[in-house]
């Protein structure tokens, strides 16, 4: 079969590369998944979110999420959009990417460079051991 230039399938290099994003949104979900660089993932019920605190001070913005059992600190750039997503309840997952991935992130979506999670004082793990 002979193909014309109009019927050829695009080559791999014709396809745009998929952009990375540091968070996902959907209003129907009842939890927020927090994925750490070491592969661990924490899932927090949105109903356990006590408050969020955004600090836009340069050079790194911070977004603190206070849950009933843990404190989650997100650091990065352009996190105001994420803060609004937390406020509206539409954020369902967050993940950090190192600065090296900055060029591949979706423009205007923000960039989480690091995530820290600490268990609140007096909380115990599933075995009853306090941290």
Query: Which comes out higher in pLDDT, residue 94 or 59?
Result: 94
Domain map of the chain by residue range? 25-119
Query: Which comes out higher in pLDDT, residue 12 or 109?
Result: 109
> Residue 25: pLDDT band by 50, 70, 90 thresholds?
low
Average pLDDT in the chain:
75
> Residue 3: pLDDT band by 50, 70, 90 thresholds?
very low
What is the H or E stretch that residue 84 is in? helix 80-88
Dist. CA 23–CA 16, nearest whole Å:
20
Query: Is it the case that residue 105 has pLDDT exceeding 90?
Result: no
Dist. CA 116–CA 53, nearest whole Å:
14
Structure confidence at residue 48 (pLDDT): 96
Query: Is it the case that residue 15 has pLDDT exceeding 70?
Result: no
**Residue 47 is encoded by which pair of tokens?**
């109903």
The answer to whether 96 and 34 have CB atoms below 8 angstroms apart is no
Dump pLDDT digits (tens) for 29-82: 899 999 998 889 999 999 999 999 999 887 889 999 999 999 999 998 889 988
Structure confidence at residue 118 (pLDDT): 96
Omega of the bond prior to 111 within 30 degrees of 0, cis? Answer: no
Query: Which of 45, 42, 82 lies closest to 62 in space, CA to CA?
Result: 82
pTM here is: 0.70
């Amino acid at each position: 079969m002979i193909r014309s230039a109009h019927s050829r399938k695009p080559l791999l290099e014709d396809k745009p590369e998929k952009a990375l994003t540091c968070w996902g949104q959907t209003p129907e979900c009842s939890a927020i998944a927090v994925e750490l660089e070491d592969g661990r993932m924490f899932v927090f019920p949105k109903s356990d979110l006590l408050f969020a605190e955004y600090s836009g001070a340069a050079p790194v913005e911070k977004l603190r999420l206070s849950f009933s059992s843990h404190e989650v600190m997100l650091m990065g750039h352009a996190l105001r959009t994420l803060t609004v997503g937390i406020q509206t309840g539409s954020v369902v997952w967050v993940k950090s990417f190192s600065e090296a991935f900055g060029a591949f992130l979706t423009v205007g979506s923000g960039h989480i460079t690091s995530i820290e999670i600490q268990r609140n004082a007096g909380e115990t793990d599933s075995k009853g051991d306090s941290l």
